[in-house]
Structure 1
């Protein structure tokens, strides 16, 4: 083992063992052959470097410690760790999706091979096609293990330990059960293939039917919310400017709402708007993940783009509204 890897593994031990164990399992599902401890250690080192830079740099510039920069540094550390985890998680999800897309065709091919008089081992081995992607790799790995030191049944069941897919796990269990019981394995696999294909078709139809709701949510978050917040800030600026000019002379002229003291400044409302846009965009992306894939984490893939777009629209809208009102 290289010295660099040893150092990274030492840094990885800073994080809880439960987290490292969970990430190690995700590495197996993702098909990664590298040591997960090295990956975790690298993310820890990057987090520590960024933390030190964000805390020390303001001190050298101002010669004072500000709690604000420490909180920002902690936020960056948490963000880096989340990104390191989500990168592996999304690779697992992509691999699972590719396997489940190829599974019906693979089962049909295995069934056809069995009907042609092949043994289950030969039928599985010859079904490994390049277009099956990750499933081809697992089929080749399983047949290699079965050809060597492991039983064919155990090699089939272990395929689900390398790919996070309930469909694949159920298919392999039915395959092994049919072989043990001496049933009509080819017919069973063919029916299972049709069932999986129908399930995926229904899922696609469900996603298609909910696209209208998804588009409405995205429009509200990316366009509607930033626009309303920009209008609110300029309304506050107008009221503050009117109060500064008229003072309390508006009382009794139907403008009593302008007489009260406003404790919220436009600058504070701008910062609050940024927080609101960040939180609402994040929650909206999680909701989109639930709608499309049934998993909130899946929507986090689009969070940086949605958050960035909503903030950009907010500043553009604020500038445009300011120009329009200023020209009146």
Structure 2
């Protein structure tokens, strides 16, 4: 693994809160992924009788899917940890400020503010308080809280408090004001999410219901047309034209349609494959778009992807079954 990628993976493991050494966890994921990929490719080769090249492609695809799934698992754990900290951070800052206004020293104010309900933030607050008690600078202790939690809010708040202290501000007032600013920012974010909710609903409906309905009806219609064209092309018009008469003279028009049907024939299986692939691509990008609009990050949309895929494919096949039952092809 390249050095840069290894460093990024170590940081992600650190942020996720998994209590295992990053190198050991990454090694386990790599080796276990190879084992899973080998098992999948071997079973597929034995059961389906695939060639070596196809088995190799299945091995690579299975390994890539496993590694991507492991990465997303760690990423969501890190994001979930950060979101939880964002929710309890204002209360923690208020509690620190109250402790300092009550006359406690900075280290004691931090340690007593570490409550179990703060979750991961409890450990960071307690660690910062012990660092201050051991003689570390308050700025270093505050910034050290951001090394194990991926949170823009926490990072910005700690930097703001540290800069304010260097400018001569009172730490209790800085903590209280930062807490109020975070609460105000959260209210603004809720208003923005309420405003963009309509866009999320529209994209979800278009990708999960609208597109499958259109594809389901259109593929059935094309299957009917293809079958009718094949029947029409099977008629021997030359036999009727040889008989002469007024009707035979008009058969040239139908003969032209027959030739056009042969040239423009599209396989229903190809249309089915095209529709399914299109729905998969639409669901993939639709979920990423929903994550970007709703949560501000494309990766947040990955959690909507399974639901969108199941819904779109379910609506597609249900539409085909329903239309087929009506027209009885």
Q: TM-score, normalised by structure 1?
A: 0.86
Gaps of 5+ in 2: 238-250
8 Å contact kept, 2:200–2:290: yes
CA distance in 2, matches of 1:326, 1:80: 43
- CA deviation vs aligned residue, 1:66-106 (integer Å, no higher than 9, x gap): 64454343222211111100101011111111111111111
- The farther-off stretch of 293-302 and 108-117 is 108-117
SS in 1 for 2:146: helix
Larger CA Rg, structure 1 vs 2: 2
Q: Which residue of 1 aligns with 2:69?
A: 83
Aligned to 2:253: 252
Counterparts of 1:42-121 in structure 2, within 5 Å, are 42-61=28-47, 65=51, 67-121=53-107
Shift of 1:48: 2.1
Structure 1 unaligned residues grouped into runs of 5+: 1-14
Match of 1:298 in 2: 300
Query: By how many angstroms is 1:171 displaced?
Result: 2.1
Distance 1:63 1:206, change over 3 A: closer
2:100–2:172 contact (8 Å) kept in structure 1 = yes
Q: CA deviation at 1:178?
A: 4.1
Secondary structure at the aligned position of 1:161 is classed as: coil
Name the stretch that deviates more: 242-251 or 267-276: 242-251
Range with bigger deviation, 64-73 or 15-24:
64-73
After the TM superposition, which residues 137-286 of structure 1 pair with which residues of structure 2 at under 5 Å, given as runs?
Answer: 137-148=123-134, 150-247=136-233, 252=253, 256=257, 259-286=261-288
Equivalent position of 2:325 in the other structure: 323
2:17 to 31, 56, 63: 31
Once superposed, what is the RMSD of the aligned Cα atoms? 2.5
For residues 228 and 93 of structure 2, the distance between their equivalents in structure 1, rounded to whole angstroms, comes to 74
| C-alpha displacement of 1:322 | 1.5
How far residue 289 of structure 1 moved from its aligned partner, in angstroms, is: 1.1
Q: What is the SS of the residue equivalent to 1:160?
A: coil
1:46 and 1:278, CA in 2 relative to 1: closer, same or farther beyond 3 A? farther
1:64/1:283 CA distance change after superposition, 3 Å? closer
Question: 2:36 & 2:19 partners in 1: Cα distance?
Answer: 28
Aligned residues: 313
Do 2:106 and 2:129's aligned partners in 1 also have CA atoms closer than 8 Å? no
Cα 1:157–1:193 shift into 2, 3 Å:
same
TM norm structure 2 = 0.86
**Alignment-derived partner of residue 291 in structure 2:** 289
